């Protein structure tokens, strides 16, 4: 049987031939890719010529083409359209992948060559991007343990392989436990209070799950959030909320407690082998923040005003409960419901009045139109291109001169084969090393599949947010793929996504895309005013639950002990230390904190969203000062941030765009936390 990974892809734009790729192709392709890459590494390491940037660092950059080809498809499928076979392959491949990476970075001959070039970097006459690539390459070897003794190197490699399997198991457990819960309702009093659009989406979920005519709610955020906002039945709100906060923490095979405490302990041990007191110090050493103290200082600056605000909000909600005749104390599952009541009354915001103006297709087109006005780029649906699922739409993205920028895939609907949340990924990264390689980027969200699909404001922001990541990948203009698009420091990667959210709520932009899905009526100014007035409403809660998760992340990864912790007591102690309000939970509890335990990138890094928000709030001030579609400002942001990827120090790139260091005041103002 032929394997499509071993053949040139003669598809339009070189998109993967999804129709030809079968599950049984992956293992064979991975094994061949590992072998091919090993041969390339051996050739580079054994080169008898003196080490140069070109024959070592650049040669490494050119290597692993087949591995990128296979991994680009497989890891996207394992997130967006998985099945039992793919999950089993993932469990087998994860430690193999870690072992392969370990062999690469523990190759002493190769490290010797990289070190020789690094020691002469000042005299090498390298361009700025090459200097950065050399720095990152050398640092990657050191951080992987290449400078350690042989025994320690072997232990680090063993830890990496074990951690890879544990992280994979953690994510799979969340998906399986999420899919195992359903709240199935008939058209009875149990559905009282739920808007028609929410019920329609629940019927669609029922159809997908083989329960036609029944309303099915899940613990996916797009399903549970509107249920908590509008369902009058308090017992059902409690039931679904507890199912969410107990995800992967139930008495079944998907319980993540053993997995996550093992991950935390092994990460602590690995960090110490590499010369760091904790995993947090190890991870932050390679980020903008640099130290846990710098992260904590930022979190504390925002935590104090947020704590005051959230206590005021809790008091308002308790008063509202009593006004309604409720004889109970505010609980976590009450927060969304009574917040929505106060929001509706205080700002006269009726969801039945607002959501019809935010039909998914129009919101998507609105985001596209913003990019067109800012950067001159256009999006045209590609004809005749098959993707990996019928829900996916593929667009050709072209620059103002008509040249192809890349392909952009949107995958917006939730389904059981797709993990929760929202993300940007790529099937192919941009590069200009030997030829111009155009990127293939994908945005994934988890909106309920309904016709029409009407979005809440959080979902509108999510779409714009992921689109910002997409632009970062699409507009990349770098030489080396490893520096392209979102391949930047973890606490810089959220700047392009979060700054994009600002345009979603600008009145001028709202009038262009927020049109009634039935009548085509432009959203009235009165509704826009209410939406803007409500922008800082409930920000005490939103900020507090996010910061609490950030503190929890730092607590787990600040551990200097390699002993396994009791998850419940550790989490409770971490929240007690920051005096978290009883009625508020961290946005993610440990057992389903996928950001920090299902992968390495956001471990000791969940703070990155608020770090980047300092940048995006300050950065958007430049657009407000000059005009939100000011051409020179947009050109500067494109050239200094979106196009540059990881080719330079991120703070330097920000300064080149903004002309100065960022200030925290705009963030506090935007969240309504400033005096």
- pLDDT tens for each residue of 648-659: 999 999 999 999
Instruction: With beta carbons less than 8 A apart as the criterion, state whether 106 and 145 touch.
Output: yes
CA distance 410 to 408: 7
Q: What residues are paired with 217 via a beta bridge?
A: 183
Query: Is residue 35 situated within a structural domain?
Result: yes
371 and 421, same domain (yes or no): yes
Instruction: With beta carbons less than 8 A apart as the criterion, state whether 163 and 156 touch.
Output: no
24 and 169, same domain (yes or no): yes
Share of the chain above pLDDT 70, in %: 100
Q: Tell whether the model's pLDDT for residue 511 goes beyond 90.
A: yes
227 and 368, same domain (yes or no): no
DSSP helix/strand/coil, 396: strand
CA distance 253 to 91: 16
Output DSSP code: residue 641.
I
pLDDT of residue 188: 82
- pLDDT tens for each residue of 569-596: 999 999 999 999 999 999 999 999 999 9
68 and 152, same domain (yes or no): yes
CATH of the domain at 73: 1.10.1370.40
197 and 171, same domain (yes or no): no
Mean pLDDT along residues 253-271: 98
CA distance 17 to 404: 20
Q: Tell whether the model's pLDDT for residue 1 goes beyond 70.
A: no
pLDDT, averaged across the chain: 96
Q: Tell whether the model's pLDDT for residue 111 goes beyond 70.
A: yes
163 and 216, same domain (yes or no): no
- pLDDT tens for each residue of 375-416: 999 999 998 899 999 999 999 999 999 999 999 999 999 999
- pLDDT tens for each residue of 591-615: 999 999 999 999 999 999 999 999 9
> Nearest 5°: phi and psi at 131?
-60, -45
- pLDDT tens for each residue of 207-234: 989 999 999 999 998 899 999 999 999 9
H helices present in 81-215, as ranges: 84-105, 108-119, 128-143, 150-180, 196-208
57 and 127, same domain (yes or no): yes
pLDDT of residue 350: 84
Query: Is residue 639 situated within a structural domain?
Result: no
- Residue 381's H or E segment, with its range, is strand 378-381
> Nearest 5°: phi and psi at 252?
-150, -175
Q: Where are the beta strands (DSSP E) in 173-296?
A: 183-185, 215-217
158 and 187, same domain (yes or no): no
CA distance 270 to 163: 10
Tell me the CA distances in angstroms from 373 to 367, 509, 512, 625, 636, one per residue in order: 10, 11, 12, 17, 14
Sign of the torsion angle spanned by Cα atoms 187, 191, 194, 198: negative
Both structure tokens of 1:
């049987």
Stated pTM of the model? 0.92
Q: Tell whether the model's pLDDT for residue 187 goes beyond 80.
A: no
> Nearest 5°: phi and psi at 24?
-70, -10
> Nearest 5°: phi and psi at 386?
-90, 135
Q: What residues are paired with 322 via a beta bridge?
A: none
List the single range of 253-262, 350-359, 468-477 with lowest mean pLDDT. Answer: 350-359
Query: Active-site residues: which are they?
Result: 466
529 and 404, same domain (yes or no): yes
Where does the pLDDT of residue 351 fall: very low under 50, low under 70, confident under 90, or very high at 90 and above?
confident
Q: In whole angstroms, what separates CA 219 from the centre of its chain? A: 18
CB atoms within 10 A of CB 497: 24
User: Count of domains in the chain?
Assistant: 3
pLDDT of residue 289: 94
Mean pLDDT along residues 19-36: 97
**Residue at which a domain ends, from 130, 160, 175:** 175
171 and 185, same domain (yes or no): no
**Residue at which a domain ends, from 175, 197, 222:** 175
- pLDDT tens for each residue of 521-565: 999 999 999 999 999 999 999 999 999 999 999 999 999 999 999
DSSP helix/strand/coil, 204: helix
More confident residue, 222 or 159: 159
192 and 57, same domain (yes or no): no
DSSP helix/strand/coil, 89: helix
CB burial readout 566-603, b (16+ within 10 A) else e: ebeebbeebbeebebbebbbbbbbbbbbbbbbbebebb
Query: Is residue 509 situated within a structural domain?
Result: yes
Mean pLDDT along residues 453-464: 95
Q: Before 153, cis peptide (omega within 30)? A: no
Query: Is residue 643 situated within a structural domain?
Result: no
CA distance 146 to 104: 9
Gyration radius (Cα) of the chain, Å = 25
Query: Is residue 467 situated within a structural domain?
Result: yes
190 and 171, same domain (yes or no): no
Output DSSP code: residue 398.
E
Query: Is residue 278 situated within a structural domain?
Result: no
Query: Is residue 251 situated within a structural domain?
Result: no
Domain residues for 186? 181-245
pLDDT of residue 189: 81
**Residue at which a domain ends, from 533, 563, 578:** 533
Both structure tokens of 511:
């009038």
Query: Is residue 615 situated within a structural domain?
Result: no
Q: What residues are paired with 447 via a beta bridge?
A: 413
- Residue 457's H or E segment, with its range, is helix 457-474
- Helix 25-45, helix 108-119: angle, nearest 10: 50
Q: Which residue has the tokens 């409720």?
A: 326
CA distance 482 to 646: 8
DSSP helix/strand/coil, 290: coil
Where does the pLDDT of residue 675 fall: very low under 50, low under 70, confident under 90, or very high at 90 and above?
low
């Amino acid at each position: 049987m032929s394997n499509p990974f071993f053949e040139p892809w003669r598809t339009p734009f070189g998109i993967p031939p999804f129709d030809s790729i079968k599950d049984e192709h992956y293992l064979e392709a991975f094994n061949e890719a590992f072998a091919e890459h090993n041969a390339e590494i051996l050739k580079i390491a054994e080169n008898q010529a003196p080490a140069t940037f070109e024959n070592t660092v650049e040669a490494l950059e050119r290597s692993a083409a087949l591995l990128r080809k296979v991994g680009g498809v497989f890891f996207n499928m394992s997130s967006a359209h998985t099945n039992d076979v793919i999950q089993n392959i993932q469990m087998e491949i994860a430690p193999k992948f870690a072992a392969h990476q370990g062999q690469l970075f523990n190759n002493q001959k190769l490290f010797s060559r990289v070190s020789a070039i690094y020691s002469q970097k000042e005299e090498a006459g390298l361009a700025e991007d090459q200097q950065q690539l050399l720095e990152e390459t050398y640092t990657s070897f050191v951080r992987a343990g290449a400078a350690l003794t042989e025994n320690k190197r072997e232990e680090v490699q063993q830890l990496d392989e074990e951690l890879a399997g544990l992280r994979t198991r953690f994510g799979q457990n969340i998906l399986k436990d999420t899919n195992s819960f359903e709240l199935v309702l008939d058209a009875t009093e149990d559905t009282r209070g739920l808007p028609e659009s929410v019920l329609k989406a629940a019927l669609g979920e029922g159809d997908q799950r083989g329960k036609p005519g029944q309303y099915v709610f899940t613990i996916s955020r797009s399903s549970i959030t509107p249920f908590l906002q509008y369902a009058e039945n308090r017992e059902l709100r409690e039931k679904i909320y507890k199912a969410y906060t107990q995800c992967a923490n139930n008495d079944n095979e998907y319980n993540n407690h053993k997995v996550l405490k093992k991950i935390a302990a092994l990460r602590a041990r690995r960090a110490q082998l590499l010369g760091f007191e904790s995993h947090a110090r190890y991870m932050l050493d390679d980020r903008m923040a640099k130290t846990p103290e710098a992260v904590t200082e930022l979190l504390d600056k925002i935590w104090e005003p947020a704590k005051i605000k959230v206590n005021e909000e809790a008091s308002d909600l308790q008063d509202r409960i009593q006004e309604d005749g409720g004889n109970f104390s505010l609980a976590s599952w009450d927060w969304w419901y009574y917040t929505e009541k106060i929001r509706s009354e205080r700002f006269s915001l009726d969801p039945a009045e607002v959501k019809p103006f935010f039909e998914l297709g129009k919101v998507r087109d609105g985001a596209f139109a913003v990019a067109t006005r800012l950067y001159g780029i256009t999006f045209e649906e590609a004809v005749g291109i098959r993707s990996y699922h019928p829900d996916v739409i593929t667009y050709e993205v072209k620059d103002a001169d008509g040249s192809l920028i890349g392909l952009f895939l949107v995958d917006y609907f939730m389904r059981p084969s797709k993990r929760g949340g929202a993300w940007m990924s790529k099937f192919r990264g941009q590069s200009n090393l030997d030829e111009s390689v155009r990127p293939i980027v994908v945005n994934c969200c988890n909106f309920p599949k309904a016709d029409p699909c009407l979005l809440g404001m959080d979902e509108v922001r999510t779409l714009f947010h992921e689109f910002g990541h997409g632009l970062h990948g699409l507009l990349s203009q770098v030489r080396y793929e490893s520096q392209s698009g979102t391949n930047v420091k973890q606490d810089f990667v959220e700047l392009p996504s979060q700054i994009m959210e600002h345009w979603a709520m600008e009145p001028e932009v709202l009038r262009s895309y927020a049109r009634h899905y039935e009548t085509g009526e432009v959203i009235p100014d009165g509704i826009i005013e209410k939406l803007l007035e409500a922008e800082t409403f409930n920000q005490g809660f939103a900020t507090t639950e996010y910061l609490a998760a950030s503190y929890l992340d730092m607590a787990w990864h600040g551990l200097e002990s390699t002993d396994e912790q009791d998850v419940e007591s550790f989490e409770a102690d971490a929240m007690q230390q920051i005096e978290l309000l009883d009625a508020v939970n961290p946005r993610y509890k440990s057992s389903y904190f996928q950001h920090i335990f299902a992968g390495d990138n956001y471990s000791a890094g969940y703070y990155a969203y608020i770090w980047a928000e300092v940048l995006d709030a300050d950065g958007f001030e430049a657009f407000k000062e000059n005009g939100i579609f000011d051409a020179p400002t947009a050109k500067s942001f494109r050239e200094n941030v979106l196009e540059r990827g990881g080719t330079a120090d991120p703070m330097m790139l920000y300064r080149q765009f903004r002309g100065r260091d960022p200030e925290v005041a705009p963030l506090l103002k935007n969240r309504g936390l400033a005096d």
